Amino acid sequence: MPLVFSLDRNTPPGASSAADDDIVLRGHLRTTIILIHGLTGTPNEMRYLAFYFNKLGYTAICPRLANHGESLNVLKHTTWEELYTPLRILFLKSLETGDRVFVAGLSMSALFVLLLAEQFGSKLAGGICLAPTLFFDGWNVPWYNRLLPLASYTPLKYSFYFKEGPPYGIKNEKIRGMVHRYYSKAKLEDTEGVAKYGYPFFPVSLFYQLHRLAGKVTPLLDRIKAPMLLIHPQEDDTASVKNSQLIYDRISSTDKKLVILTNSYHVITADQEREKVAIEMKEFMDPQ
């Protein structure tokens, strides 16, 4: 589904001008931050950060990734290029306002931030990688998940799904409980609740798309010179800190920082230390 945004500065502060469940909050400062949720996730993952930065005067945009909100039968056929293209267009439209434009991505979407940084260089005011995922090696990932991309080479590549189980990337017990109540009862064809909680089922074909995207991004890391902030939880259940460390070590940015969280799981934008995440992002974008 294409993303449609009005970037008119006359939109009242705090108003949403985007379709569906995209979040668009206008600010009075000349800074825009684009916040990209994770694969099979929802803009709701970025809601706290969006309102945090909008209260400070920033324009905050949280687009819904292409085909998210559609049935799994649609989502599972989506390529990483189809996810990236609308984000690239949104970034270019945001530049037309004259604002400084920062982009933050969670999990797989952090790789889109890296692509933008490599492609647009100094036009990107700064990139923020939140629990970036080049490979699934977190403590809650079954060993056989590493074999799942191989299924993409078989005639059944669109027939396999992985159902996510606890802790769902969330250490906070209250939030995890709400997610669990939906995920534990969800059926494959269900779409109710997806806008709020994301998809309980992860198509194996999307593991393959992540594998393709990581293969595209990794060789480009040394060409990235834009300012870059990486934030990763030590206890990441999905992707270990090795993911952020690899990126940090290979990018050529002179302005770069790696922050390790000690009380969160993978979805750090909504978990226990979301305020710390926001503070680190604010200091990165507007250092005192």
pTM of structure: 0.90
Please indicate, yes or no, if residue 12 is contained in any of the structural domains: no
Please indicate, yes or no, if residue 151 is contained in any of the structural domains: yes
Please indicate, yes or no, if residue 15 is contained in any of the structural domains: no
Please indicate, yes or no, if residue 1 is contained in any of the structural domains: no
Question: Average pLDDT of 139-144?
Answer: 75
Please indicate, yes or no, if residue 88 is contained in any of the structural domains: yes
Please indicate, yes or no, if residue 177 is contained in any of the structural domains: yes
Question: Average pLDDT of 74-78?
Answer: 94
pLDDT of residue 195: 82
pLDDT of residue 75: 94
Domain range enclosing 171 = 23-285
Q: Are the beta carbons of 72 and 205 closer than 8 angstroms?
A: no
Please indicate, yes or no, if residue 86 is contained in any of the structural domains: yes
- Which residue in this structure is represented by tokens 């078989």? 154
Please indicate, yes or no, if residue 256 is contained in any of the structural domains: yes
Question: Average pLDDT of 105-113?
Answer: 98
Domain count within the chain: 1
pLDDT tens by residue, 173-203: 999 999 999 988 888 877 778 888 899 998 8
**CATH number of the CATH domain containing 170:** 3.40.50.1820
Alpha helices in the chain (DSSP H): 47-55, 72-75, 80-95, 109-120, 173-183, 194-197, 204-217, 242-250, 274-285
pLDDT above 90 for 15? no
Percent of the chain residues topping a pLDDT of 70: 88
